Chain A
């Protein structure tokens, strides 16, 4: 390519990639053998590139036992994953069963307990409020003496001391 053809470089690349040549470049190619040769070389390189590019990745494949290994690992992961939800379910069910049993027992117990008729309740109330008639005696004068517990050496009643000259 000549120095003054440098301006066509990008268009030559585009033409090689796209396959079509824009009119201004076509006009230039009619009178420039260097650029015509360059375009032919670029097209050949593009074809080689197109044949090589898929090989960069598409030839690559996992090992033949890859699928079997993935399935075995998935199965193992499934078992370990499955264990914890199962335990959680058992624990949850046990908790619910315990709560249900507690509620049922409480309900049964309240149902079994004998219901006391109102009349009997009133009688029981009266009995609780009853006071023995002898309670009245405790409120008589001198009850302090009866209720007091004297200490050793003390008297039930305060005894006045002897005064001087009494003898």
Chain B
């Protein structure tokens, strides 16, 4: 009887966790991808994020809590990985993605791909504070409050840094 109850609990927990993964996986992956610029490393970080969330799932059952927690952990793990692997890390471009037969950005237009690669380079050249805010702000489903929660800064600061970043990019992308 106890065994049956334990199995039912585990199944319910796994079902709830699976739903949370489905809701958050794209955003979590993009947060890691924005920092690392590399698909394989971003997937590793996303997976590690969800495994950590699984271990703490009893205290993260609430959807918003889970969402905020995985956003923050994915970002920190990605930063740690970038520091640790800075020599090895290679930033993918849309061309690299095309060579592997995968469409990272879904673009078909070659000119737009060139522009996108150029934009990625310009983003990489931004000051750290502005770059991080921009990278998180362009992630799907992330508003200024979400970005502020990840970075531990007010939403107003996020907006002003985002404005500054866009201004620098506008000037650079002549």
> Quick one: CB contact mask for A56-73 with B, threshold 8 Å, 1 for yes?
111111110011011101
Whole-angstrom distance between the alpha carbons of A57 and B30 in the complex? 6
Cα(A60)–Cα(B140), bound, Å: 10
Check B55 against A58 for contact (C-beta < 8 Å).
no
Chain B stretch 98-134: residues in CB contact (< 8 A) with chain A: 103-107, 112, 115-116, 119-120, 123, 134
Known contacts A52-B115, A66-B47, A59 near B107 by CB under 8 Å: yes
Residues of A within 8 A of B25 (CB): 62, 66-67, 70
Closest A-B pairs by Cβ, 9 of them: A59-B105, A74-B54, A62-B29, A60-B33, A57-B30, A70-B50, A59-B106, A58-B140, A57-B138
Q: Do A75 and B14 form a contact, CB below 8 Å, given A57-B30, A70-B25?
A: yes
Q: List residues of A (79-105) whose CB comes within 8 Å of B's CBs.
A: 81
Q: Are A77 and B55 closer than 8 Å at their CB atoms? A: yes
Residue of B nearest to A81 (CB): B55
Q: Is the CB of A55 within 8 A of B42?
A: no
* Cross-chain contact A52 with B112 (CB below 8 angstroms): yes
Using an 8 Å CB-CB cutoff, how does the interface string of A110-129 with B read, 1 for contact, 0 for none? 00000000000000000000
When A52-B112, A70-B47 are in contact, do A57 and B174 touch as well, CB less than 8 Å?
no
Is the CB–CB distance between A54 and B54 below 8 Å? Answer: no
User: Residue-by-residue, is A12-56 near B (CB-CB < 8 Å gives 1, otherwise 0)?
Assistant: 011011000000000000000000000000100110110011111
Task: Determine chain B's interface SS by DSSP, over half rule.
Answer: helix
Is B154 among interface residues, defined by CB-CB distance under 8 A?
Answer: no
- What residue of chain B has the Cβ atom nearest to residue A14's Cβ? B167
Query: Smallest CB-CB separation from A18: which chain B residue?
Result: B163
Contact B170 A45 (CB under 8 A): yes
Select A58's contact among B54, B112, B139, beta carbons within 8 Å: B139
- Interface-side segment among B15-23, B60-68, B75-83, B145-153: B15-23
Task: Return the contact of A55 from the options B43, B105, B167 (Cβ within 8 A).
Answer: B105
Q: Is the CB of A67 within 8 A of B18?
A: yes
Asked if residues B119 and A74 are in contact (CB atoms below 8 Å), the reply is no
Measured CB to CB, the residues of A under 8 A from B are 13-14, 16-17, 42, 45-46, 48-49, 52-63, 66-67, 69-71, 73-75, 77-78, 81
Contacts of A66 in B (CB 8 A): 25, 29, 43, 46-47
Show 16 residue pairs from A and B whose CB-CB distance is below 8 angstroms, ordered by the A residue.
Answer: A13-B171, A49-B169, A52-B112, A52-B116, A56-B105, A56-B123, A58-B140, A59-B106, A62-B26, A62-B42, A66-B46, A67-B22, A70-B46, A70-B51, A74-B51, A78-B54
When distances are taken between beta carbons in the complex, the residues of chain B under 8 Å from A58 are: 30, 138-140
Residues of A within 8 A of B12 (CB): none
Does B173 reach chain A (CB closer than 8 Å)? yes
13 A-B pairs besides A52-B112, A74-B51 with CB distance below 8 A are A45-B174, A52-B116, A53-B119, A53-B134, A55-B112, A57-B140, A58-B138, A58-B140, A60-B30, A62-B29, A62-B42, A66-B43, A77-B51
